Amino acid sequence: GNSVTQMEGPVTLSEEAFLTINCTYTATGYPSLFWYVQYPGEGLQLLLKATKADDKGSNKGFEATYRKETTSFHLEKGSVQVSDSAVYFCALSDRGTGNQFYFGTGTSLTVIP
Amino acid sequence: DTAVSQTPKYLVTQMGNDKSIKCEQNLGHDTMYWYKQDSKKFLKIMFSYNNKELIINETVPNRFSPKSPDKAHLNLHINSLELGDSAVYFCASSHSGKGETQYFGPGTRLLVL
Protein backbone atom coordinates (compact mmCIF):
# COMPACT_ATOMS: atom_id res chain seq x y z
CA GLY A 1 0.00 0.00 0.00
CA ASN A 2 0.86 3.67 0.07
CA SER A 3 2.22 5.46 3.11
CA VAL A 4 4.45 8.33 4.17
CA THR A 5 6.70 8.39 7.20
CA GLN A 6 8.15 11.66 8.33
CA MET A 7 10.40 12.73 11.11
CA GLU A 8 8.67 13.26 14.40
CA GLY A 9 8.77 16.64 15.99
CA PRO A 10 8.67 19.02 17.45
CA VAL A 11 11.82 20.55 16.02
CA THR A 12 13.25 23.73 17.53
CA LEU A 13 16.01 25.64 15.76
CA SER A 14 17.72 28.96 16.13
CA GLU A 15 17.35 31.51 13.37
CA GLU A 16 19.77 30.91 10.46
CA ALA A 17 20.24 27.24 11.37
CA PHE A 18 20.11 24.49 8.73
CA LEU A 19 16.86 22.54 8.52
CA THR A 20 16.28 18.95 7.45
CA ILE A 21 12.95 17.19 7.86
CA ASN A 22 13.12 13.57 6.76
CA CYS A 23 10.39 11.95 4.70
CA THR A 24 10.30 8.42 3.30
CA TYR A 25 7.52 6.78 1.39
CA THR A 26 6.08 3.47 0.31
CA ALA A 27 4.15 3.37 -2.92
CA THR A 28 2.79 0.74 -5.27
CA GLY A 29 3.56 2.76 -8.40
CA TYR A 30 5.42 5.93 -9.31
CA PRO A 31 4.09 8.60 -7.00
CA SER A 32 4.21 12.36 -7.12
CA LEU A 33 5.61 13.84 -3.91
CA PHE A 34 4.68 17.03 -2.09
CA TRP A 35 5.60 19.17 0.87
CA TYR A 36 2.82 21.27 2.38
CA VAL A 37 3.15 23.90 5.12
CA GLN A 38 0.51 24.84 7.66
CA TYR A 39 0.92 28.12 9.54
CA PRO A 40 -0.92 28.49 12.85
CA GLY A 41 -4.67 28.80 12.39
CA GLU A 42 -4.51 28.34 8.61
CA GLY A 43 -5.06 25.68 5.98
CA LEU A 44 -2.34 23.75 4.21
CA GLN A 45 -0.40 25.46 1.43
CA LEU A 46 1.72 23.75 -1.18
CA LEU A 47 5.38 24.41 -0.50
CA LEU A 48 6.94 22.35 -3.32
CA LYS A 49 6.43 19.21 -5.35
CA ALA A 50 8.25 16.72 -7.56
CA THR A 51 6.59 14.39 -10.01
CA LYS A 52 9.37 11.99 -11.04
CA ALA A 53 12.62 10.53 -9.82
CA ASP A 54 15.57 12.94 -9.48
CA ASP A 55 13.29 15.98 -9.79
CA LYS A 56 14.09 18.74 -7.33
CA GLY A 57 11.26 20.90 -6.01
CA SER A 58 12.14 24.31 -4.59
CA ASN A 59 10.34 27.32 -3.20
CA LYS A 60 11.09 30.12 -0.71
CA GLY A 61 14.56 28.69 -0.03
CA PHE A 62 13.23 25.19 0.67
CA GLU A 63 14.32 22.24 -1.46
CA ALA A 64 13.56 18.54 -1.71
CA THR A 65 14.83 15.95 -4.17
CA TYR A 66 12.81 12.91 -5.24
CA ARG A 67 15.10 9.93 -4.55
CA LYS A 68 13.66 6.73 -5.91
CA GLU A 69 16.57 4.57 -4.77
CA THR A 70 16.08 5.54 -1.13
CA THR A 71 12.32 6.27 -1.45
CA SER A 72 12.89 9.63 0.19
CA PHE A 73 11.91 13.27 -0.25
CA HIS A 74 13.69 15.11 2.54
CA LEU A 75 12.96 18.81 3.03
CA GLU A 76 15.92 21.17 3.51
CA LYS A 77 16.53 24.85 4.01
CA GLY A 78 19.91 26.43 4.47
CA SER A 79 18.96 29.22 6.85
CA VAL A 80 15.62 29.22 8.64
CA GLN A 81 13.76 32.31 9.78
CA VAL A 82 11.29 32.87 12.59
CA SER A 83 8.58 33.15 9.93
CA ASP A 84 9.23 29.51 8.91
CA SER A 85 7.69 28.33 12.19
CA ALA A 86 4.87 26.05 11.09
CA VAL A 87 3.86 22.41 10.67
CA TYR A 88 5.28 20.68 7.60
CA PHE A 89 3.57 17.75 5.91
CA CYS A 90 5.04 15.34 3.39
CA ALA A 91 2.52 13.70 1.04
CA LEU A 92 2.31 11.43 -1.97
CA SER A 93 -0.20 10.95 -4.74
CA ASP A 94 -0.14 7.60 -6.48
CA ARG A 95 -2.06 5.95 -9.24
CA GLY A 96 -5.66 5.46 -8.28
CA THR A 97 -9.00 7.17 -8.24
CA GLY A 98 -9.38 10.82 -7.55
CA ASN A 99 -5.80 11.90 -6.91
CA GLN A 100 -5.89 10.55 -3.35
CA PHE A 101 -3.15 11.97 -1.17
CA TYR A 102 -1.37 10.10 1.60
CA PHE A 103 -0.05 12.48 4.23
CA GLY A 104 2.66 12.03 6.82
CA THR A 105 1.93 12.88 10.44
CA GLY A 106 3.37 16.39 10.18
CA THR A 107 6.48 17.90 11.79
CA SER A 108 6.16 21.00 13.91
CA LEU A 109 9.01 23.49 13.50
CA THR A 110 9.68 26.38 15.84
CA VAL A 111 12.42 28.86 14.98
CA ILE A 112 13.66 31.03 17.83
CA PRO A 113 15.43 34.37 17.36
CA ASP B 1 -10.21 36.14 -5.11
CA THR B 2 -10.58 33.34 -2.56
CA ALA B 3 -9.73 30.00 -4.12
CA VAL B 4 -11.25 27.53 -1.66
CA SER B 5 -13.60 28.94 0.95
CA GLN B 6 -15.38 27.29 3.85
CA THR B 7 -18.18 28.43 6.12
CA PRO B 8 -18.38 28.73 8.99
CA LYS B 9 -14.83 29.24 10.23
CA TYR B 10 -15.79 28.34 13.80
CA LEU B 11 -18.62 26.12 14.97
CA VAL B 12 -19.43 25.50 18.62
CA THR B 13 -22.39 23.24 19.31
CA GLN B 14 -23.89 20.78 21.75
CA MET B 15 -23.69 17.02 21.56
CA GLY B 16 -26.55 15.52 19.62
CA ASN B 17 -27.06 18.48 17.32
CA ASP B 18 -26.91 18.35 13.51
CA LYS B 19 -24.66 20.78 11.66
CA SER B 20 -23.41 21.50 8.14
CA ILE B 21 -20.17 22.89 6.78
CA LYS B 22 -20.07 24.41 3.31
CA CYS B 23 -17.20 24.51 0.84
CA GLU B 24 -16.85 26.34 -2.46
CA GLN B 25 -13.98 26.56 -4.92
CA ASN B 26 -13.55 28.96 -7.82
CA LEU B 27 -10.52 27.28 -9.38
CA GLY B 28 -12.42 25.31 -11.99
CA HIS B 29 -11.39 22.00 -10.42
CA ASP B 30 -13.42 18.85 -10.88
CA THR B 31 -12.42 17.04 -7.68
CA MET B 32 -13.11 18.06 -4.09
CA TYR B 33 -12.20 16.51 -0.74
CA TRP B 34 -13.00 16.60 2.94
CA TYR B 35 -10.29 16.00 5.54
CA LYS B 36 -10.41 15.83 9.32
CA GLN B 37 -7.44 17.10 11.33
CA ASP B 38 -7.25 16.06 14.96
CA SER B 39 -5.60 17.83 17.85
CA LYS B 40 -2.24 16.22 17.02
CA LYS B 41 -2.42 17.64 13.49
CA PHE B 42 -2.99 14.22 11.93
CA LEU B 43 -4.87 14.55 8.62
CA LYS B 44 -7.41 11.94 7.61
CA ILE B 45 -9.15 11.87 4.24
CA MET B 46 -12.89 11.42 4.65
CA PHE B 47 -14.47 11.83 1.22
CA SER B 48 -13.71 12.83 -2.31
CA TYR B 49 -16.01 13.81 -5.17
CA ASN B 50 -15.16 13.95 -8.84
CA ASN B 51 -17.70 15.73 -11.04
CA LYS B 52 -20.33 15.34 -8.31
CA GLU B 53 -19.66 11.60 -8.02
CA LEU B 54 -18.40 10.09 -4.76
CA ILE B 55 -15.07 8.37 -5.43
CA ILE B 56 -13.36 8.16 -2.04
CA ASN B 57 -15.41 7.15 0.97
CA GLU B 58 -13.11 6.28 3.82
CA THR B 59 -14.26 4.59 7.00
CA VAL B 60 -16.12 7.33 8.76
CA PRO B 61 -19.33 7.06 10.79
CA ASN B 62 -22.42 7.24 8.63
CA ARG B 63 -23.46 10.28 10.66
CA PHE B 64 -21.21 12.14 8.19
CA SER B 65 -22.80 12.71 4.80
CA PRO B 66 -21.22 14.69 1.99
CA LYS B 67 -23.26 16.38 -0.70
CA SER B 68 -22.05 17.89 -3.93
CA PRO B 69 -24.70 19.99 -5.67
CA ASP B 70 -22.25 20.91 -8.44
CA LYS B 71 -18.55 20.71 -9.25
CA ALA B 72 -17.74 23.88 -7.35
CA HIS B 73 -19.42 22.94 -4.07
CA LEU B 74 -19.00 20.16 -1.55
CA ASN B 75 -20.88 20.30 1.72
CA LEU B 76 -20.52 18.13 4.81
CA HIS B 77 -23.49 17.36 7.01
CA ILE B 78 -22.97 15.81 10.42
CA ASN B 79 -25.83 14.25 12.37
CA SER B 80 -25.98 13.59 16.10
CA LEU B 81 -22.68 15.28 16.89
CA GLU B 82 -20.39 13.57 19.41
CA LEU B 83 -17.53 14.90 21.52
CA GLY B 84 -15.04 13.00 19.35
CA ASP B 85 -16.14 14.95 16.28
CA SER B 86 -14.35 18.01 17.65
CA ALA B 87 -11.60 18.74 15.14
CA VAL B 88 -10.66 21.00 12.26
CA TYR B 89 -12.32 20.05 8.98
CA PHE B 90 -10.60 21.04 5.76
CA CYS B 91 -12.02 21.14 2.30
CA ALA B 92 -9.65 20.86 -0.67
CA SER B 93 -9.92 20.76 -4.44
CA SER B 94 -7.80 19.75 -7.42
CA HIS B 95 -7.93 18.73 -11.04
CA SER B 96 -8.34 14.99 -11.36
CA GLY B 97 -5.30 12.88 -12.14
CA LYS B 98 -2.27 11.78 -10.22
CA GLY B 99 0.08 14.47 -9.08
CA GLU B 100 -2.31 17.39 -9.28
CA THR B 101 -1.83 19.83 -6.41
CA GLN B 102 -4.62 19.93 -3.88
CA TYR B 103 -5.63 23.41 -2.72
CA PHE B 104 -6.94 23.68 0.81
CA GLY B 105 -9.53 25.90 2.41
CA PRO B 106 -8.87 27.73 5.69
CA GLY B 107 -10.60 25.09 7.79
CA THR B 108 -13.67 24.90 10.02
CA ARG B 109 -12.93 24.53 13.71
CA LEU B 110 -15.68 22.40 15.23
CA LEU B 111 -16.05 22.14 18.99
CA VAL B 112 -18.70 19.82 20.38
CA LEU B 113 -19.61 20.45 24.02
Residue B109 vs residues A38, A58, A66, B87, B89: alpha-carbon distances, Å: 15, 31, 34, 6, 7
Chain A hits for B98, CB-CB cut-off 8 Å, are 31-32, 93-96, 99
Burial class (CB within 10 angstroms; exposed 0-12, middle 13-18, buried 19+) of A7: middle
For residue A101, list its beta bridge partners: A93
The CA-CA-CA angle for residues A55, A44, B8, to 5°, reads 155
d(CA A18, CA B46): 36
Best mutation target among A21, A99, A107 (most B Cβ atoms within 10 Å) is A99
Averaged over successive runs of 10 residues, the pLDDT of chain A (113 residues) comes to: 90 97 92 95 95 95 97 97 97 77 95 97
Instruction: Find, in chain B, the residue whose alpha carbon is nearest to that of A49.
Output: B101
CB contact under 8 A, A38 and B41: yes
Torsional class of B63: left (φ above 0), alpha (ψ -120 to 50), beta (otherwise): alpha
- Residue A78 to chain B, least CA–CA distance (Å): 25
Cβ separation of A99 and B90 shorter than 8 Å? Answer: no
Confidence of residue B51 (pLDDT cuts 50, 70, 90): confident
Residue A33 near residue A66, CB atoms below 8 Å: yes
Q: Which of A34, A43, A49 sits opposite B105 (nearest CB)?
A: A43
Judge: A34–B96 Cβ closer than 8 Å, yes or no: no
DSSP tally for chain A: helices H, then strands E:
0, 12
Round to whole Å and give the CA distance between A35 and A56: 12
pLDDT in tens, A61-83: 999 999 999 999 999 999 999 99
Question: What's the half-sphere exposure (Cβ side, CA atoms, 13 Å) at B96?
Answer: 15
Range name among A96-100, B3-7, B48-52 with the lowest pLDDT average = A96-100
Q: Is A28 on the interface with B (CB under 8 A)?
A: no
Residue B43 C-alpha, separation from nearest chain A C-alpha, in angstroms: 7
| Number of Cβ within a 10 Å radius of residue B26 | 12
- Nearest chain B Cα to A95, which residue? B98
